[in-house]
Structure 1
Amino acid sequence: MGTGNVSDQCTFNGIKLAGKVKVVDSFPDVRVKAVSSFPDVKVKKVSSFADDCGEWQFVDSFADFKIQYVDSFPDVEVAWVDSFPGLP
């Protein structure tokens, strides 16, 4: 189910949902809600080489895109996983 905002190429509004991510309080590229079931993307936190869909490396600078955690009206719903990240 999810929001349906993520394309088959694992993008949202042209932003590839992989790579270096910075968490911000305002002006995000993507508003994210963490869910336990029916996500748009399954996300794995990695420490390096965040190249594939759903692999996110959290950084403080030089991010590929910025996210803001929200409780309502998200752009993308994610589920945190330890293995097999990507589109469900």
Structure 2
Amino acid sequence: MKKLIVLLFGILFSSTLFAGEVGSDCTFKGKKLAGKVQFVTSFPDFKVQVVDSFPDLKVQKVSSFPSDCGKWQEVSSFPDLKVQIVTSFPDFKVKYVDSFPGVP
């Protein structure tokens, strides 16, 4: 019985430690991870955790032309993506950078 409990905890924690895979084409679940982003507290397209190391995506905040992978322009209406910032159980992890955004 103890082995089963340890196994279940191992599976649970290993799946939460590793957030989802961002594709080499800069997509996650079929959505491109570039463009106009609205930060929301409910009903997001993705839940994202901001980290300092080992990100799934490097994000550069820009004020215009957010067409390249990892370039996000924050907007309050008509977003391409809705993102919720969380501290646990993210869909994927991001690191904010000043240059060279994209998939590491």
Taking structure 1 as the reference length, the TM-score comes to: 0.95
Q: Which has the higher strand share?
A: 1
Alignment of 1:55-66 (within 5 A): 55-66=71-82
Per-residue CA shift, 1:2-24, capped at 9, x if unaligned? Answer: 62421111111111000000000
Q: Distance in 1 between matches of 2:28 and 2:36?
A: 15
Letter in 2 for 1:66: K
SS at the partner of 2:21? Answer: coil
CA RMSD of aligned residues (A): 1.3
Q: In structure 2, what is the equivalent of residue 85 of structure 1?
A: 101
Q: Distance in 1 between matches of 2:21 and 2:42?
A: 20
Question: How many pairs are equivalent?
Answer: 88
1:67 aligns with 2:83: yes
Letter in 1 for 2:68: D
- Which entry has the higher C-alpha Rg, 1 or 2? 2
Identity of aligned residues (%): 62
Q: Which runs of 5+ in 2 are unaligned?
A: 1-17
Q: Distance in 2 between matches of 1:63 and 1:23?
A: 9
Higher relative contact order by CA 8 Å / sep ≥ 6: 1 or 2? 1
Q: In structure 2, what is the equivalent of residue 42 of structure 1?
A: 58
Q: Which runs of 5+ in 1 are unaligned?
A: none
Per-residue CA shift, 1:38-58, capped at 9, x if unaligned? Answer: 100000000000000000000
Taking structure 2 as the reference length, the TM-score comes to: 0.81
Q: Which has the higher helix share?
A: 2
